[in-house]
Structure 1
């Protein structure tokens, strides 16, 4: 079974983009100024930490980067194997991501804020979240939906404005709903960041926020078979 396509796939990937924003808000605000999905930021943080500037931890960024890369390897192995055996790799990948996030929530259940948690426990939470996001990036790359990476928005934001009436670049115009996909990426990440920060601001503990993200991803995975079958029926 292939993943859904068209509008159904766009909705799924935008939902996953919102989850990304929630997770990065939780990790950055409560786990020591580190991202678990936006590894571009972690590369910079790692450089800042090595230079001992800004009070940033090189070790924290390195843990996230390493786990993310391991997740990409794991995701590639899993999804390639399932696809070769004609198994439904897309929902299985999402369920694996949800399981890793649930594991992160379980590990961090008794942890306090970044400054109060044992370093080992905090690193484990960061590592499991980044591992899940590494798998997610492979999943997004495999479905190859234009402008919907689910973890970064810089390219989509650039294309959105340069292909608009203001930018006037016809090569980047709104062909095949590109504008809506780009807007979904930018808006989804912003909404996710706002939601995550709002939950943290209400006093919601980090493990609860991560668990909410896990439940959302799992629910999305269970919707995928129906969406894919609907696509096939329409075809």
Structure 2
């Protein structure tokens, strides 16, 4: 796998950390990429536990599903036409994140009982993350799924001197990209949390994410055609 492609996916993992910080801390409690959390939030909310609202989680799950359907159809059709489907997926993601930034430009972060603007931003972000997940899975770079790091952490620890499991690549250099994926998610989340703490609006928080995804799409276009997945 070309190092340049792996590097771009590491950057996208950082973006996911930033977006999930915005989703959870400024729009939530809700996730827009890591849908396992929403399945549980929805269950807890329906049970009336800890006063967790179920609406945001249900909306995110539905919007994510729409994103997956749109991403799968768009990227498979684009590939059939002979176009570079990765850039199409990333461009669509960037446009949706930019739209979310526009909707949330003057919207203050709120945790719990979101306003309509918060819900609209959540839906746009979840749709974007559904498309991203399709893009990541079609590229299928081991250890860098870009929207979650549980498998990356498991493989990283399993292939370490402590885990010593050859099934996870013990003794190979695979640990580096896994470690970078985990670090990227952490630093993205840390960046987002610090910006939320500093009082940035929802739109201001999302604008850098949209810019980075758009830049990744442009850089990916410079890669050799054989590296498009």
- TM bucket normalised to smaller: over 0.9
- Partner residue, 1:207: 203
Q: Take 1:170 and 1:50, find their aligned partners in 2: how far apart are those partners?
A: 43
Partner of 2:116: 120
- CA distance, structure 1, for counterparts of residue 226 and residue 107 of structure 2: 43
Q: What corresponds to 2:167 in structure 1?
A: 171
Aligned to 2:31: 35
Q: Which residue of the partner structure matches residue 61 of structure 2?
A: 65
Counting matched residue pairs gives: 228
Q: SS of the counterpart of 1:16? A: helix
| Pick aligned residue for 1:13 from 3, 6, 9 | 9
- Find the counterpart in structure 1 of residue 214 from structure 2: 218
**Unpaired segments ≥5 residues, structure 1:** none
Residues 10-41 of structure 1 show CA distances to partners (whole Å, capped at 9, x for unaligned) of 10100000000000001100112111111111
Counterpart contact for 1:111–1:117, Cα < 8 Å: no
Deviating above 3 A after TM superposition, structure 1's stretches of 4 or more consecutive aligned residues are 115-118, 174-177, 229-232
Structure 2: 5+ residue stretches without partners: none
| The one of 25, 43, 50 aligned to 1:47 | 43
Alignment match of 1:107 (pick from 103, 107, 132): 103
Cα shift readout 1:36-95 (whole Å, capped 9, x = no counterpart): 111111111111101011221111100001100100000001100100000011012111
Among candidates 86, 91, 96, match of residue 90 of structure 1: 86
Partner Cα separation in structure 2 for residue 118 and residue 198 of structure 1 = 21
The TM-score with structure 2 as length reference comes to 0.94
Q: Counterpart of 1:54 in 2: which secondary structure?
A: helix
TM-score, normalised with respect to structure 1: 0.92
- Of the three residues 138, 142, 145, the one matched with 1:142 is 138
Are residues 191 and 116 of structure 1, via their aligned partners in 2, closer, same or farther at CA, if it must alter by over 3 Å? closer
Structure-1 residue corresponding to 2:178: 182
Q: Measure, in 2, the Cα distance between the counterparts of 1:37 and 1:86.
A: 29
Shift of 1:120: 2.1
1:136-170 deviation line (CA, Å, top 9, x unaligned): 00000100111111011111101101111111111
> Kindly tell me: are residues 187 and 118 of structure 1, through their superposed partners in 2, closer, same or farther at Cα, counting changes over 3 Å?
closer
Q: Is the 8 A contact 2:104 2:201 kept in 1?
A: no
| 1:197 aligned partner | 193
Secondary structure of the residue aligned to 1:113 is coil
Q: Which residue of 2 aligns with 1:25?
A: 21
